Structure 1
Amino acid sequence: MAFNGSRYDIQEFLVCQTVDKTALNDLLAKAEEIVTEKGLDFTSTGLEGDLFQAVVYAHALSGSPLATIEEVTEAAAALEAAIQALENATTPSTSYAITVEDSGNGTVTPSRTRATRGLTVTLTVKPDEGYKLDTITVTDKNGDELNLTDKGNGKYTFAMPASAVTVEASFTKDDTPVDTGLPFTDVKADDWFFEAVK
């Protein structure tokens, strides 16, 4: 460029924006561990393929001095979403044991022997002949008693907590008088003198 008879050279300088990549690099380190562990590559498909592609893009931005704040933020969000999606898909739901303590004079049968948290479990109570249910409790691993709902007909329900549970029941003699159609409450239908007094 000439000015007043003199020539000047104009140089252009590229100003790089300083971008904090800490969050991106932390996620990238975690994602790369998953990629190595699962042996993911460009042929991976589905959620695994999504994660691998997110890693490739994030890795390119991590080493680039030209990456913008918007690009780094977007790449970190995509990487985090890919990691979470894969973890949710591969982590099985944890189920917990349901143990019924032995009790004489009756039985308690759970609808399942294991259950995941929040699942409704039904307990079916069946006293032996001549007995009735006295008490029934369900406690978690810490000994805390759970709420039971009496559904009638010997069925009780509870919501499974995030721990194993223990079911305990006790039965007592059923002294409820049997209706024999007689005015005598102490006469049973199988008494030898039933026919004589009815």
Structure 2
Amino acid sequence: MGSYTVIADAGASLLKLLREEMTPDPVSRPELIGMASPADKGDLNISVYICAVRENNESRRTEMLIEGDMLRYPPRSIDLECLITAHSSADILTRTLDEHRLLGKVAQILHDNSVLRGPMLEGTLADSDAGLKISPLPYGTEDLTRLWQFGDAPYKLSLAYRIGPVHLDSNRVKPAARVVERRITLREKERG
């Protein structure tokens, strides 16, 4: 379960993993991996950009949660879709190769860590028993190009991943009336 910070917590968990696994090689400092649009990357070597939030109907919960004398509405189950883009400041002759190496390392890390658990989870996700699943999205070039709507910025090779499901808690509650009296009526069965 997660509070309204669950999207940020999922992003922070992914950043924590990448920063721990990619530094000091191939990225020299953890702060060079961050959450940013590929168009607003600044000095980042790796930008992680959550670009879509989608309902996850497969893990949707419909039962009310009992909390003392209140019933809480079920959480919303969502998947986050993100673009991970490499940025190199190398000269033009080696820049693309450098970015491809960085993306290869990211793909390897996310393949080896497809479920984040325990100390890798940040914020409200830290209490999750299920963990945070990370899986590649089966997007082709057309799909990625459609996602790449960043003004005049030319398309760059990026990885697309699904993170989730995560559960966004509801704040809606209603009182749960307790049973205080029970009536049982017995009737004799008619023979016919």
Task: Give the TM-score normalised by the residue count of structure 1.
Answer: 0.27
Task: Give the TM-score normalised by the residue count of structure 2.
Answer: 0.28
Larger Rg computed on CA atoms: 1
